[in-house]
Structure 1
Amino acid sequence: MNNLFFRYLFLLTVTLLPILSPAQDFAKGADISWLPQMEATGYTFYSDKGVKQDCFQILKDHGINTIRLRTWVNPSSDKASGHCSKEETVAMAIRARKWGMRVMIDFHYSDTWADPGKQKKPAAWEGHTFPQLLTDVHDYTADVMTALKTAGITPEWVQIGNETASGMIYPEGSTSNWSGLAQLINKGYEAIKSVSPNSKVILHVD
């Protein structure tokens, strides 16, 4: 009996070892989607020694190896003034990769911040039927993922929705309608995998 137990333990250990990542693969990340907006309004960044540097350089010097980037459908329709658009997300992802950073993409499925207090659907999707919303999520997700792929970026992780403990794309995707929420998430998943099959798809709760 003991021999069988230790044989099982050995096999389990051998099976799990390839899954465990070495310490250097630990993702130490930050969401710096605000960086282009800050730079555009005159912010500058300095090292511990007071030397003016690229924000990416400072983060890298402090051990950051992963960057998360939020992307909004049409931020120019909101007070965000165009920041976090598809184009800016792609440009930031390219910049992150040039600094040797791993990349996570965060789809908010909104024109602005999405969180438990507000999961407002994009203005362009207002009034759409539920089947249309499913198409909207799929096509928009695929469009952003394709733009990243064209730029040579394969995100390591892609996040469907932001802080979705109560759902996303209200009211159709709220947790009062689990079937609708599941269908919307699956459409995002399908689009991501169709363009970037190696990206890990994750859900995000606050």
Structure 2
Amino acid sequence: MHQKLKSKARTKKQIHATTLLQLLRLGLRLPTAVLEAIAQNVSSIAIAQARTQGFASSTEANIIDGNRQSLEPLSPGQSFQVSASNSTILFQNWQIPSLLWIEPTDGGVVFVGNSWYRGKLLLIAQGNKLLAVNYVDLKQYLLSVVGSEMSAAAPMEALKAQAVAARSYALVHTFRPANGWFDVTSGERHQAYKGIATEYNKLISI
């Protein structure tokens, strides 16, 4: 039995690798971040853009700059402001060029604007605007998308159909992202995505 499971796992990896190889042979130059997202089934969603944003984490979070150097950790429930100025991120006493990651530990969630989100955040300074991109497991992303676009009272078959359509849409935009920094946005331009507020138990079984 164990050998069969291992064999199936290898087969899936081989199929996945073959798909990527075919895409590369077609001349598609996939950035490293895209390749990693495909391999890990991760979606990246632009969820907010403003000069100053407020953030928090439900658990301790690691604050990491664009060179993957750790700054001071964020305490659970601690809120803080991050701003952008001349493509530089201003965070407490730090001035950080371009990029900043907020990575909750122990399965924590992050707060942006008025919503909580699973996964981690990438903050990008674009001139005097700060773009917040949520990197989240594809399945967790779909829980929020389906919950955002359909009522919990909808028949299970309708929810399943919506989940399949949303997954296909997300995967297409993994290969053809809306922007160099993210696959899709969180609004009507792509798929509605409102974080954990729109998840409900009925969706977990899909």
**Length-normalised TM-score, structure 1:** 0.27
**Length-normalised TM-score, structure 2:** 0.27
Comparing both chains, which one has the higher relative contact order based on Cα–Cα distances under 8 Å and sequence gaps of 6 or more? 2
Flag the structure with higher strand content.
2
Flag the structure with higher helix content.
1
